[in-house]
Homo-oligomer: A and B are copies of this chain.
Amino acid sequence: MTETKDENKESQILEAAKNVFQRKGMDGARMQEIADEAGINKALLHYYYRSKQMLFEAVFIKAFSLLAPQLNKVLNDDSSIEEKIRNFTENYLSFIIKHPYLPSFILNELNRNPDFLLKMKANKGFPNLDKFKKQVNLEVEQGILKPIKAEQLFINIVALNIFPFLASPLIKAFANVDDAAYQQLLVDRKTEVAIFIIDSIKIKS
């Protein structure tokens, strides 16, 4: 129905597993349901991926590898902090709007099992704040930015971008908006969020 026509069974299974795991989480997912969604026999799952745990890890690592490098890319390019914020907000929101379950999936499973991160950290391409930190400190000294700790700024940027995807049912209920209106709010945020952050931290000249 979506993509991955039929290349090979392996990625066809992975696609089905991704859908089920992201909907139900590791604990809620059933191997039978994944098999059904992939249109194959349950035993075949175990033929390709030995166990539920291994299938899950394959899905998780793929999802994480999709999300993390983008973050890294923006953090480590040569633009100013202001540009970084604009780029990140624009790119990341566009990306997540296409994969709305990703953030929730990844954060949940990391909470469930933080040790995962140890495996991930080994990979190079694992996001790293060093350059961003130096840059923030420098721009603060130069009087471009108001004093703020790089870590706090980083949390704020990520929070403003990702949170609406973690809490959509709740926000929809509180703000009394329907799906279409919420979708529009999200699109608006592609520019709104960057403005919001920059207005907060930039010293006007």
Task: Give the size of the chain A interface in residues (CB under 8 angstroms).
Answer: 55
Contacts of A25 in B (CB 8 A): 25, 27-28, 108, 112
Chain A residues 155 to 169 lying within 8 A of chain B, measured CB to CB, are 155-156, 158-160, 162-164, 166-169
Distance between Cα atoms of A107 and B108 in the complex (Å): 10
Q: Is the CB of B110 within 8 A of A108?
A: no
Copies in the complex: 2
Smallest CB separation, A86 vs chain B (Å)? 15
The residue that A151 contacts in the complex, of B107, B149, B177, with Cβ under 8 A, is B177
A104 to B174, CA, bound (A): 17
User: Which of chain B's residues have a CB closer than 8 A to the CB of A120?
Assistant: 173
Complex-state Cα separation, A149 to B168, whole angstroms: 17
Nearest to A150 among chain B residues (CB) is B175
Q: Is A33 located at the chain interface by the 8 A CB criterion? A: no
> Shortest CB–CB separation between residue A67 and chain B, in angstroms?
10
User: Closest CB of chain B to A113's CB: distance in Å?
Assistant: 9
Tell whether A192 is near chain B: CB-to-CB under 8 Å: yes
Contact assessment for A175 and B158 in the assembled complex, using a CB-CB cutoff below 8 Å: no
Known A25-B108, A104-B108; further 20 A-B contacts with Cβ < 8 A: A104-B111, A110-B170, A111-B166, A111-B168, A114-B169, A128-B176, A129-B174, A129-B175, A129-B176, A148-B192, A151-B177, A152-B189, A155-B175, A155-B185, A159-B160, A159-B162, A159-B163, A162-B167, A196-B200, A197-B200
The 21 listed contacts between A and B (C-beta, < 8 Å) are A104-B107, A106-B170, A117-B169, A117-B173, A126-B173, A129-B174, A146-B199, A151-B185, A152-B192, A152-B196, A154-B171, A155-B164, A155-B171, A156-B196, A158-B171, A159-B159, A159-B160, A159-B167, A160-B160, A162-B167, A200-B200
